[in-house]
Amino acid sequence: MLPSSTRPFPELYQHFKHKEKTCQLATIYGYKRILQDLLPTEDWKKAVWKDGAANIDEHSNGVGYGFDKSALDFVRHGEVMNEVQRWFLEETRLGIPVDFTNEGIRGLAHPYATNFPSQLGLGAAFDRDLVRRVGEITGQEGRALGYTNIYSPILDVVRDPRWGRTEECYGEEPYLVGELGVQQVLGLQSQGVAATVKHYAAYSTPHGGRDGNARTDPQIPFRDMHEILMEPFRKAFMEAHAMGTMSSYNSYNGEPVTGSSYFLNDLLRGEYGFKGYVVSDSGAVTRLHRQHDVAKDFNAATAMAVNAGLNVRTSFKPMSQYVNALRVGLRRGMIEEAVVDARVRDVLRVKFALGLFDAPYVDPQAAPAIVRTQASQAVALEAARKSIVLLKNDNHTLPLDSKRLKTVLVTGPVADDYRALVNRYGPMKSDLVTPLTGLKAYLKDDAEVLYAKGADFTDARFPESDVFKLNPNAAEKKMLDEAIALAQKSDVIIAVVGDDHSTVGEARSRTTLDLPGHQELLVREMVKTGKPVIVVLMGGRAASINWIDRYVPGILAAWHGGEASGTALAEVLFGDYNPGGKLPITFPRSVGQIPMAVPYRSGAWSGQSKKVDPNGFGSTRAVDPLYSFGYGLSYTQFEYGGVKVEPAKPRIEQSITVSCRVKNVGQRAGDEVVQLYVKDVLASIVPFEQVLRGFERVSLKPGESKTVQFTINPMRDLKMMDINNKWGVEPGDFDVRIGASSTDIKQRAQFTLVN
């Protein structure tokens, strides 16, 4: 067994043999995924991991068929993890501890961990402190149950909302994604676990939004790739010092990321200074020869990935497959031993940093007092509240008055389906409050709450129905008629529509942004009754709800809000909580407008000329989006004034302070997300129309005002990639815009940056 970490690191490494080195570069996929044993058996001494392993992924986290539920008990869970760790410490020759990895996108991937809103919902909250606390709780719960490395956050920037994984991302704007991602990393790592950010790199703009087996070259230029897609990763590595990252399936400009020394070495370790270890997304190595056609077989793919910079292959395949390929590569000279040594040192460095050599075990008895406490549930409720966005409120339709209602109809496929509120990469069985149960609990005996599903998430012809609408079949019409009959008896109708795992998520890209199935038809029929209708969008992407926007007076976007979804929704609908969320993605009117995401280069969203002009004359297209990035209403009103920029002529190395006064001039307390945008007036490269460079969510009582202050660091916030693809800051004039959304600008100012 190796001595403790008090011995010098190089001295420890000299004990390794080739078999043990290769085992430190591979993952054992956990119980009921690949590993068939919850606890060590005698057969383990014959398995490839008798020589150790880099990590064990998703062990005992409840994902898999026929799972032993007794192992999910918090105390038993810690005991299981300790017993497995003890085997590696005592039964392998070197006694190297394993790194227990697990997912954690909306809370820890354990059935009974705290269930937070989707990352898209958290993006809508525009609240750094909230995301930091979500990260802390996720890391704390993970560590209490024995996990030492959490695959979170997702730092992909959504540029095409048809993409299935839109719901798992903070939004479309790189500054927003980067700022929230940094907080999630800091929160996780403050609890003694590593944050492995994903999906590195250039993953989120596949052709036509397609994913699944179509994970290939993204449609984005080199400069935009760096300034938009890579910016959140740069921040996570350079500012938050994330200890892990996951290499993605896709290629960029014909070069597969998992086989790219540019992405995995030059950029990641060189420019970004990454000191952790890289795991592959499942199957990313195999795709080098089975999809990307750059390696003749799996042995060649393995050598390509390791030489490029991959540390650990993680896959839904036996560990032995990859370890054997590594050993073949070493024997045949396809991989130099020095390269393997470098990759293993990265893995060991993280294990030392996590304290696994000194404190490899957890205290199982402590877990029940740590996992899903009342305090963490309170944060989940706060997050659900803050994520809700008020999209429309004509004639002050909202909030509803419970004293004036006798009967409320709740309808729609998301109204009482818990599956839409959970995710394979987060908790799956926490106590969930659906919209229906939340409204029943809120109204109690004040009003009768009726329920009819009205429509499924999809119809019988989906996805064909996305391009060719037909009337409902007999079963679908019966479901619709049941909702219509109950609507006639109701004082108000709350239609909860959107997505579940059949329409959004990994490998669930869409052809259109319209509501799937007969969901819009359900809303149309509800409006036809003449009763007041409120539409609640509980989805995972932007939705082109043009008819609903035209004819429904009250619309909320509530995303997938986690375990407290129904409670938060009821509080917002009836005015106990004033919604203050903002859209983290643009809502196009049609997929024909895509790409339509901020930031965009000057002139990219220009309209058509109103005079005779051979280069732009005509009125042939819808120009503006349905809802802009950063948009969101409130039950109160806010007034902006007194913008100041100091100094007016800052030097490049000097910080700039921008301040603005915001006042609540309405009758209710509420939150406003104050947004700072900056425009480079003249640049050597066509600049972005404007870029988000600050946001602050402020809570104000009626009549209360607050001065919101932002700091711009030119070297961080005003840098651009020049004509030679080099980073730099160009002197000149910059416009400052402060507003309630990317298009609702309230105050303007300017400063001149000088050398």
Question: Would you say 24 and 347 are in contact if contact means Cβ atoms under 8 Å apart?
Answer: yes
Q: Give phi and psi for 467, each to the nearest 5.
A: -120, -10
SS3 28: strand
> Strand pairing of 732-739 and 745-753?
antiparallel
Long-range (24+ apart) CB contacts under 8 A made by 328-335 are: 328/299, 328/302, 329/299, 329/302, 329/303, 330/18, 330/22, 332/299, 334/299, 334/300, 334/303, 335/302, 335/303, 335/306, 335/307
DSSP E strand boundaries for 447-574: 448-452, 492-498, 533-538, 554-557
Question: Would you say 458 and 138 are in contact if contact means Cβ atoms under 8 Å apart?
Answer: no
Question: Would you say 150 and 136 are in contact if contact means Cβ atoms under 8 Å apart?
Answer: no
Q: Is 361 exposed, middle or buried (0-12, 13-18, 19+ CB in 10 A)?
A: middle
> Strand pairing of 255-256 and 251-252?
antiparallel
Kindly calculate the radius of gyration of the chain based on its CA atoms and give it in whole angstroms.
Answer: 27
Farthest-apart Cα atoms in the chain, separation:
83
Residues 6+ apart with CB under 8 A from 65: 32
Closest residue by Cα to residue 645 from 634, 635, 660: 660
Q: Give phi and psi for 69, each to the nearest 5.
A: -65, -25
Report residue 337 CA to chain centroid gap. 37
Q: Is 51 exposed, middle or buried (0-12, 13-18, 19+ CB in 10 A)?
A: buried
Closest residue by Cα to residue 157 from 106, 204, 199, 197: 204
- Dihedral of CA atoms 155, 61, 373, 104 in degrees, nearest 10, equals 0
Q: Which amino acid is at 83?
A: E
- Active centre residues (catalytic): 281
Task: Name the helix (H) or strand (E) containing 57.
Answer: strand 55-57
> Which pair of structure tokens corresponds to residue 160?
């095409």
SS3 648: coil
What distance in Å separates the CA atoms of residue 89 and residue 81, rounded to the nearest whole number? 12
Q: Cα separations (Å) of 753 from 654, 676, 733?
A: 9, 17, 6
Q: Work out whether the CA dihedral 591, 595, 597, 602 comes out positive or negative.
A: negative
Q: Which amino acid is at 744?
A: D
164-191: string of b/e by CB count within 10 Å (b at 16+)? bbbbbbbbbbbbbbbbbbbbbbbbbbeb
Length of the chain measured in residues = 755
